[in-house]
Amino acid sequence: MEFGIFTQAAVPKWRWEQDPEAEHTAIMNALEIGVAAEKAGFKYIWTSEHHGLAEYSHASAPEVMLAYLAAKTETIHLGAAIMNPLPAVNHPVRTAERVAMLDHVTQGRFEFGTGRGAGTYELGTFGIPDNKITKDMWDEVVPEFLKMWSSDNYEFHGKYFDVPERNIVPKPWNKSHPPMWVAAGNPPTYEKAARLGLGVLGFFIGSIYNMEPCIDSYKKVIDKADPVGLYVNDNVMLGYRGLCLPDAKRAREAFCRMQTGYYDSLVYHRHDTFPRPEGIPYWPELLPEPTLKDVDRLIDEGKTMCGDPAEVIEQVRKIEAMGVDQLMFTMPYELDQETALEVIDTFGRYVVPEFDKNPVHRTTQFRNESGNHLPARA
């Protein structure tokens, strides 16, 4: 199993009281975390694309953050989770161009994740009136990327976007294209991703153990994939909250300072298309913050990783047994930067080597071993 770090530059309102440059600090801290993740042995750093979601995420341009990290790193893969391909948000030609450019500047380290946005509030920023139509938008756009990268005479006239005959350049690097992923949250979407040969970016609320049926639905279909790209990216990644420090008590105390109740409330508020379990309050009412007495229960229920390295290794073993290919560590929430960097170092030093023995990225293997190539250029 491989490991990644996810960061989205959250800027909760109270940070402004302590730091007049809170937004800048959050963005620069996220970039520092990306560099630290490589040094600690993580294989992937992921960042978001969100719009108009103040407090929740101020990372609106993954291509900018990842290009910066490309110059600061050498081996870690740089992932967009997600880059929004809906025509009303980003014209598909511009998305295809940026993906190809990132493929060049990262020398094949870019991971191309797509999705349909966080919910009606974010989509409304771009005049999309109904979340239901985004499925049709996504279905129209995603198969076109390979055609843009493959043809010198691309042309398309669809329902949601239109392109006259053009040669869309640059083409991706080294006769192939970046691994393709899609964000998913329920078994039908996992199965659809498998049919299209896409890796899954699994974002969820609740227990990670509830995701086993989703993983099973993906793995049962992936061998029958008809990929929208040149190759199948057989990958299930799950994003999971967690904290690992050398001392178990200190780890639990730090977890209780992470303001997870506030952030979970923000998730339900901003991702208003997520299923809302009974008892979840409506914004501005908030979920309670966990106490020390709650932490072990949350660990047992599969709602967080937490503890010293030995404890976290045992927690990760249970997740590995579910068939997860990559565990994406979502943090730092409200940890101070020094503690966040210590968490990354501790997890990378003690936990990652227990599970990830292969120096080659799983996505690189799929890309390199594929017998399919983009057309040769004159």
The residue type at 336: D
Type and span of the H or E element at 157? strand 154-157
What is the radius of gyration, based on Cα positions, of the chain?
20
Q: How many CA atoms lie within 13 A of 97 on its CB side?
A: 9
Is residue 306 domain-resident?
Answer: yes
Is residue 39 domain-resident?
Answer: yes
Is residue 359 domain-resident?
Answer: yes
**What pLDDT was estimated at residue 317?**
98
**What pLDDT was estimated at residue 332?**
60
CATH code, 29: 3.20.20.30
Closest to 49 in 3D by CA, of 19, 94, 14: 94
Is residue 288 domain-resident?
Answer: yes
Phi, psi of 164 (to 5 degrees): -70, 170
> How many separate domains does the chain show?
1
Mean pLDDT of the chain: 96
How far is 258 from 13, CA to CA, in rounded Å?
Answer: 14
How far is 215 from 234, CA to CA, in rounded Å?
Answer: 11
Closest to 37 in 3D by CA, of 238, 329, 307, 260: 329
For every residue of 92-131, DSSP letters joined together read HHHHHHHHHHHHHHTTS-EEEEE---S-HHHHHTTT---T
Is residue 87 domain-resident?
Answer: yes
Q: What is the mean pLDDT of each run of 10 residues along the chain (378 residues)?
A: 96 95 97 98 98 96 98 98 98 98 98 95 94 95 98 98 98 97 91 98 93 96 98 98 96 96 92 84 96 98 97 98 96 86 98 98 97 88
Rounded to two decimals, the pTM is 0.97
Is residue 349 domain-resident?
Answer: yes
Question: With contact defined as beta carbons under 8 Å apart, do 66 and 102 qualify?
Answer: yes
Is residue 378 domain-resident?
Answer: no
Domain span including residue 163: 2-369
**What pLDDT was estimated at residue 377?**
79
Is residue 88 domain-resident?
Answer: yes
